[in-house]
Structure 1
Amino acid sequence: MDFEQSLHMNKGEGEASYARNSTNQNAGQNKMNPLIHEAVTSLWKYTNCLKKMVITDLGCSSGPNSLTLVKTAVDAIFRYCSDHKELLPEIAVLLNDLPDNDFNIVAKALSEFQQSTQGFGPVVTAMVPGSFYKRLFTSNSVHLVLSSNSLNWLSQVPEDLKENRIPMYDSDEGLRQEKRPFVVQACGRQFRKDLTHFLNARAQELVPMGQMVLSLVGTSSRDTTCQSIQPWDFAFLPLNDMASRGVISREMLDSFYIPVHGPSDKELMEIIEDEGSFEINNMQVHHLMTGTDKRPIIPKIERSRPGLHSSQQSCSISEARKASWMSS
């Protein structure tokens, strides 16, 4: 299966659509607001006077969440310029997702957004279909990259699982526990490969000292009770129930893969540092229901590389069913 062409959230605005079932994802986006404001401030602090600014949301999906991050960024720019008596730059907003995303809804939202910003100066918008694990923009052209609940999605099902016919979820508890480390490790290896491609592509597209603010579902390395939880667990529980009742066949369940991975904050930091293009300015771990971890990770900041701000949502076992694993 070509995931780049076929993977998307439920389209439209009906009862089962993503647009009407993405409250958890929006909560995660809202936690990114302080980091987005911090990134905008950093752009003015570490770059020359900005006459134009290009902002992109990678994995925007559709519905009410599709413009949440870029609206926050544009508001932050307006506020910064007002507070510091700076001239407003020309702003370009670029929304990206896979080609089969419901861009019809996105286009309508972008049109309304443009009209709402007419009094603030030129704000142009565009949609950019394609995989963010590849190059999407020209070199040194983007100032601010945003992404929420999208990087959990892998570019493909790990080959190790398909070649060895190992299901992601086995109905037999004993077999599931026995195979689980192999499944998690296979997804982790694919995640490392994909995120490395993502970082390398963005490093080429960002202007010098450009900024990224990323948020994804994962686990906290400080919380050993939830390190074994993966985003795909929550989808397989009802699917396994359907198979046990004969609604779907057991063979169908065993051949069904959800290409997602929930990394730990430690795992995420190691991949970013190994790739080497970005310096981590701020990394925070949020519990989905209780707020921000009391001990945010703030590594040493160097100014020779673009900055990266990361907001990671983790879950405990008691909150597992409320975790969000869908792309925003």
Structure 2
Amino acid sequence: MEPMNWGEGDTSYAHNSGIQNAEQNRMKPMIEAAIIDLCTSTSTLFPTNMVIADLGCSSGPNALVLVSAAIEAIRSYCVQFQRQPPEVCIFLNDLPNNDFNMVVKSLSMLRKSNEPIVVASVTPGSFYERLFPTGSLHLVCSSSSLHWLSKAPEVLTRNHIPAYNIDEHARREMLPMIHDAYAQQFKNDFTHFLKLRAKEFLPGGRMVISITGRHSNGIDSKLFHIWEPIGHILSVMALEGVINKAKYDSFYIPMYGPSNEELRGIIQEEGSFSIKEMVVRGLTSDADSALFTPDRYMSQMRAVFEPVILKHFGEVMEEFMRTAERRWSLDGILRDQLDRLVWLSVSLTKASSSN
């Protein structure tokens, strides 16, 4: 995994994350409901402190959206029921090479502007490893992060099987096997993620997550990956000789979008959490259509994928943008790809029997 584009410039994630921000705003009711449950739990006294973590916070204005929603929900509850606000400890997590400079600046403003008392910190590291002490967390939030895998499927990388073949016939023949390899990697990673978080939660702890996924488990769905728009543009560049075909064949995006049935099955099989609520929304549903014009979408994809593309191919982003503009300006191509994507939002409660 690679971090998003740094800084506050025109190509930065901070400047090009409107799609992710729109989904964060749609998560707020789930976060508010989770806070009310934590405040009214009959199994514990009203908490004197709460520990809240955002996993995969990235940087820029989106880094504080989810934890700010949780703090505001705590404040509203305490005002309504005349409770003494708990002290709140906030942890913002992302990869060690994330742009934490911007995050720390935002955190300092959060601490100054909020009641209840807020103690805030950053926690560098992968969410596929232990991050917090046993039994310490009340609430975990995560948006637009958990579709990133710990690594590309080894069955593909070890056997030099391209994830996205530039030959259309070969690609369609191989896609079911490619899909299964990615699906298994996601199942392994997400199961591991749930086991790790279960150890870090207090009894009755809550988790609210939203990830990019696919509409269903149907045959057509299995011929599509959530990174299809990027793979398609790179395949055009390989066909035109802009990037080396051998380089292209060895390029893997460690990202997978499950269906809601698939995600539900993994959660239930792992057993540490029970599903309180699951919502499936089209990627473009109830969102500003301006976010999905070819120009705007290209800029947002660049902010997310430029680091991983540059690491593998070198300085090719300007040509990538020109190719994307040429392809995505054709009627229906980009819209067809976006219509296959969904947001999967899930509210979970730590099961009483889990460790």
How does the TM-score come out when normalised to structure 2?
0.79
Alignment of 1:1-328 (within 5 A): 3=1, 7-46=2-41, 47-117=44-114, 120-221=115-216, 226=221, 228-291=223-286, 318=335, 320-321=337-338
CA distance in 1, matches of 2:218, 2:246: 35
| CA drift at 1:290 | 2.4
Question: For 1:231, what is the secondary structure of its paired residue?
Answer: coil
Task: Provide closer, same or farther for how the CA distance between residues 210 and 319 of structure 1 changes in structure 2, counting only shifts above 3 A.
Answer: farther
Question: For 2:202, what is the secondary structure of its paired residue?
Answer: strand
| CA drift at 1:291 | 4.2
Residue-pair matches, total: 295
Task: Provide closer, same or farther for how the CA distance between residues 225 and 291 of structure 1 changes in structure 2, counting only shifts above 3 A.
Answer: farther
| CA drift at 1:129 | 0.5
Q: Is the 8 A contact 2:141 2:208 kept in 1?
A: yes
Point out where structure 2 has 5 or more consecutive residues left out of the alignment.
Answer: 288-332, 344-355
Q: Per residue, is there more helix in 1 or in 2?
A: 2
* Alignment partner, residue 290 of structure 2: none
Task: Provide closer, same or farther for how the CA distance between residues 110 and 208 of structure 1 changes in structure 2, counting only shifts above 3 A.
Answer: same
Q: Is the 8 A contact 1:93 1:126 kept in 2?
A: yes
Matched AA of 2:337: A
Matched AA of 2:73: A
Task: Provide closer, same or farther for how the CA distance between residues 92 and 291 of structure 1 changes in structure 2, counting only shifts above 3 A.
Answer: same
Q: Is the 8 A contact 1:231 1:324 kept in 2?
A: no
Q: Is the 8 A contact 1:57 1:94 kept in 2?
A: yes
Q: Is the 8 A contact 2:129 2:196 kept in 1?
A: yes
Matched AA of 1:207: L
Task: Provide closer, same or farther for how the CA distance between residues 97 and 162 of structure 1 changes in structure 2, counting only shifts above 3 A.
Answer: same
CA distance in 1, matches of 2:108, 2:81: 29
Q: Is the 8 A contact 2:217 2:259 kept in 1?
A: no
| CA drift at 1:187 | 0.8
CA distance in 1, matches of 2:336, 2:232: 15
Question: For 2:164, what is the secondary structure of its paired residue?
Answer: coil
CA distance in 2, matches of 1:221, 1:291: 20
| CA drift at 1:241 | 2.1
Q: Is the 8 A contact 1:35 1:213 kept in 2?
A: yes
| CA drift at 1:121 | 3.3
* Alignment partner, residue 316 of structure 2: none
CA distance in 1, matches of 2:271, 2:89: 28
CA distance in 1, matches of 2:53, 2:218: 33
* Alignment partner, residue 303 of structure 1: none
| CA drift at 1:288 | 1.8
Matched AA of 1:121: P
Q: CA RMSD in A?
A: 2.0
Matched AA of 2:21: N
Deviates more, 1:235-244 or 1:195-204: 235-244
Question: Deviations for 1:176-217, whole angstroms, at most 9, x for unmatched residues?
Answer: 001111111111111111111110111111111000001000
Point out where structure 1 has 5 or more consecutive residues left out of the alignment.
Answer: 293-315
